[in-house]
Amino acid sequence: MRKELDKQLCEKYPLLYRNRNAPMTETCMCWGFDCGEGWYNIIDTLSALLCSDFNRAKEGYENIKEYYENEGKWPWNNGKVITPEEVEERRLKMVKAEESVPTVVQVKEKFGTLRFYIDSGTEEQYNYIRFAEKLSARTCETCGAPGKIRGPGSYSYYTACDEHTTPQHVSH
């Protein structure tokens, strides 16, 4: 995957890709996103889902903090006064949610499909990953258009649209 796209993902999801630049003795993530950019949208969407609890909690905290510091009350809820305890409660919720963001260990293509490895996760998070991996088997790794698994080519299987399929693998 192109450097700019790699960088984009790491900047958008710093927690998830916190090991992107760790040494290779510690993580395979040092190799970056080892697949074609046709899967960028799949990886981007998956990344957003894996961070969604945290992002929601973070937004909730930033929201209450801003109103607490500026007006001291909600602009709705009949102008209910915000207490420091409520602010702290939301901060703790955010800290807890942060722990639910897994660390990505490796992202690569294997036998034509996406492989996405995390250090640990919830059942829901593993389901998102399974879905993304399945979707990659129907998405051209080169351009992102609908595709299917082809091959084996000179190396292995690969997923491609008609245009990015080597002539010998075009189905008639």
Q: What is the contact surface with Zn ion in residues (CB under 5 A)?
A: 140, 142-143, 145, 161, 164
**With respect to Zn ion, which residue has the nearer C-beta, 121 or 144?**
144
Nearer to Zn ion, 73 or 164 (CB): 164
Q: Cβ neighbours of residue 113 under 8 Å, at least 6 residues apart?
A: 133, 134, 136, 137, 149, 159
CB nearer to Zn ion: give 15 or 143.
143
CB of 139 to Zn ion, least distance (A): 9
Can you give the length of the chain in residues? 172
Nearer to Zn ion, 113 or 125 (CB): 113
Residue 10 beta carbon to Zn ion: minimum distance, rounded to whole angstroms? 25
Q: How far is the CB of 172 from Zn ion (least distance, A)?
A: 18
CA distance linking residue 87 with residue 34, whole number of Å:
41
Point out the residue whose Cβ comes nearest to Zn ion. 140
Q: Whole-number minimum distance, CB 157 to Zn ion, in Å?
A: 15
Q: Minimum distance from CB of 100 to Zn ion (Å)?
A: 35
Torsion of the alpha carbons at 22, 25, 30 and 35, rounded to the nearest 10: -150
Nearer residue to Zn ion within complex by CB, 91 or 148: 148
Count of beta carbons in the 10 Å neighbourhood of residue 35: 22
**How many Cβ atoms from other residues are within 10 Å of residue 138's Cβ?**
13
Distance between first and last Cα of the chain: 30
Whether 159 contacts 139, CB under 8 Å:
yes
